Amino acid sequence: MTTDQALVFAILAATLVLFVWGRFRYDLVALTALLLVSITGLVPGDQVFMGFGHPAVITVAAVLVLSRGLFNAGVVDLLSRHMAKVGSGATAQVTALAFIVVICSSVMNNVGALALLIPVAIWMSRQSGKSPSLLLMPLAFGSLLGGLVTLIGTPPNIIIALYRADTGMPAFGMFDFAPVGIGVAIAGTIFISLFGWRLTPKRESKSLSDDLFEIEDYITEVIVPEGSKFVGQTIFHLTTAMEKDTEATVVSLSRGEIHKPAPSWYEIIEPGDILMVEAAPDDLKALMDDLGLELAECKGDCRATLGSKDIRLMEAVITTESTLPGKTSAGLYLRRLYGVNLLGIARRGRRITRPLAQTKFMTGDILLFQGTDESLQTVVKVFKCLPLAEREIRIGQPRKVLLSVGIFGAAMILSAAGVLPVQVAFVAAAVIMVLVGVVPVGEIYEHIDWPVIILLGAMFPLGHALETSGGARMIAEKLLALSGFFSSGGTLAVLLVGTMLLSNVVNNAAAAVLMAPISITLAGEMGLSADPFLMAVAVGASCAFLTPVGHQSNALVMGPGGYRFGDYWRLGLPLSIIVTLVAVPLILYFWPLSPAAIG
């Protein structure tokens, strides 16, 4: 092993360990690795940031903008608004959801397609009285299967397509992935729909906002009596006093006919004011004994008051793109800045009972917000949370639907026909969607997944260093040694499974970047076509079914579904086996191993 190879493997090993650990964001880890390969001289200084101009990076960014355009136009909502007609049977619901998400994720970002359908799935589960856990994991896995079908379905396909150019052949086209991808997607969807969903855990914990968070047990009305020391002071002073010894929160103020949801901290308290507070029984007693407030009889249904036209509740899940993980509510000043109260946090299907202000948010947590429609929409947008069942399904405007589909379809046709390179076709389509108003100017960069873009730009030079240092050849030779025990098809299966296992612990795009040069070198050492090996990497990198950290789709459903880390393999393992058993024969049939068979 040469010095350069040792350096590459050391940097790569450290990068993978940090990816798996998850303590630092993967884009920061990738940038650190990029700097290390530059400092050690493995990548020339003038080529360090060349990865950010790679066609795959540009294409992924353009596809994310186009996905937003399809969302804004109501394309997926148009498909999903008839979901109530499928009935209340779990098999029918899973089949319908999986079918739609496979179609949508084949032509748009799979995380985007999943995010659009999660509220639909939760609404269906509530209407039928079933646990959301029966629907959400099959939905997430369906979004991964759909990404296998086209070039733009998932970032690994775009990466693998352009790596093919390194073999002297044209890059894979728009529908070159379809023969294998469609077969795998159909097999996986059939398995999930007919049998696989039965393997998902059935979480009995309630998921309705009224039930999961037990609002009726925590919302109480109190009166500020004459002579109270808080009369003439502000809500801020009262809240400060409450926070010293309790976790109680003022959620609204009533004064005669005036009702103020999430009152300003600078609101002056008057005698007889009725405050609706969220407080556990022990905290409520402290409010009475220590602060001199008096208990008032809740007039009517307190939950109905919270859900009135002035104020309502909203459940939202913290996404992988959110800025909330690692923070606490104490430093967010939700009421002061946004006029919103945080009433509860649920994690993996259970309400967190420890003090909210001291609880650090995690990806997948479900937050219960209270506020006006406008304030709630602002908060979920600012913190990039996904509203759950409170989200209404829009019908979509026919003109915009046709326009967005037309623009998107034209880009696919032009790139598939070879008239324009894929990156040019989709950047042009994204620009047109902005010009015609389907994507507002303010949303162009807002909906690009920048951590993934940074990851890709930083990982390409690392993958190049792995290849130029001879590290890829060394790994390929080790795999080649296995071919003495397996047939060529068996070696292909080993490569696919190895990539699949890697993608369950690191980002799928990173797995594709690392395994693509290895697959090309392995094919060259065996004297075979690189195409089937690249296809094996494409399938393996996109099928992370075993863990919640393997793909953003898996992480996104963890909180709403109440899943635990070890739940994923129950459905994911048999699905991974089915994908392997179906994908390998299809790859060998449509992409023969013999170089002479390549056309």
Q: Is residue 529 part of a domain?
A: yes
Which pLDDT score, from 0 to 100, does residue 66 have? 81
Q: Is residue 396 part of a domain?
A: no
Which pLDDT score, from 0 to 100, does residue 583 have? 96
Query: How much of the chain exceeds pLDDT 90, in percent?
Result: 14
What letter does residue 266 receive in the DSSP assignment? T
Last residue of one domain, picked from the residues 387, 410, 434: 387
- Using pLDDT thresholds of 50, 70 and 90, give the confidence band for residue 207: very low
Which pLDDT score, from 0 to 100, does residue 493 have? 92
Better pLDDT: 306 or 102: 102
Distance CA 9, CA 492 (A): 23
Residues 42 and 96 in one domain: yes
Residues 179 and 277 in one domain: no
pLDDT tens column, 471-516:
777 877 777 776 666 788 888 998 999 899 888 877 788 888 888 8
Residues 147 and 41 in one domain: yes
pLDDT tens column, 166-178:
788 888 988 899 9
Residues 185 and 316 in one domain: no
Which pLDDT score, from 0 to 100, does residue 396 have? 47
Q: Is residue 505 part of a domain?
A: yes
* Collapsed DSSP state (helix, strand, coil) of residue 511: helix
Choose the weakest-confidence range: 47-51, 300-304, 555-559: 300-304
Last residue of one domain, picked from the residues 303, 338, 361: 303
Query: What number is the average pLDDT over the span 309-328?
Result: 78
Average pLDDT of the chain, as a whole number: 80
Residues 234 and 354 in one domain: no
Q: Is residue 415 part of a domain?
A: no
Q: Is residue 418 part of a domain?
A: no
Residues 183 and 289 in one domain: no
Choose the weakest-confidence range: 140-149, 261-270, 304-313, 321-330: 304-313
Report H helices in 108-147: 110-128, 133-146
Question: 392: which 2 tokens?
Answer: 């209404």
Q: Is residue 429 part of a domain?
A: no
Extract the runs of DSSP E, i.e. beta strands, from 123-241: 219-223
Query: What number is the average pLDDT over the span 113-136?
Result: 78
Domain of 330 in residue numbering reads as 312-387
Q: Is residue 542 part of a domain?
A: yes
pLDDT tens column, 284-298:
677 777 777 776 654
Distance CA 98, CA 65 (A): 24
Q: At a CB cut-off of 8 Å and minimum separation 6, what does 190 contact?
A: none
Residues 181 and 32 in one domain: yes
Which pLDDT score, from 0 to 100, does residue 510 have? 82
> Is the pTM here over 0.85, yes or no?
no
- Using pLDDT thresholds of 50, 70 and 90, give the confidence band for residue 399: low
Are 467 and 517 contacting, i.e. CB atoms less than 8 angstroms apart?
yes
Residues 109 and 196 in one domain: yes
**541: pLDDT strictly greater than 80:** yes
Which pLDDT score, from 0 to 100, does residue 76 have? 60
Residues 180 and 324 in one domain: no
- Using pLDDT thresholds of 50, 70 and 90, give the confidence band for residue 401: confident
CA–CA distances in Å: residue 250 to residues 54, 280, 301 = 52, 13, 17
Q: Is residue 525 part of a domain?
A: yes
Last residue of one domain, picked from the residues 341, 357, 387: 387
Which pLDDT score, from 0 to 100, does residue 392 have? 45
Residues 299 and 332 in one domain: no
**304: pLDDT strictly greater than 70:** no
Residues 338 and 270 in one domain: no
What CATH number did the domain enclosing 257 receive?
3.30.70.1450
Residues 348 and 218 in one domain: no
Distance CA 327, CA 213 (A): 21
**67: pLDDT strictly greater than 80:** no
Q: At a CB cut-off of 8 Å and minimum separation 6, what does 124 contact?
A: 83, 84, 86, 93, 97, 135
As for how many domains the chain has, the answer is: 3
- Using pLDDT thresholds of 50, 70 and 90, give the confidence band for residue 395: very low
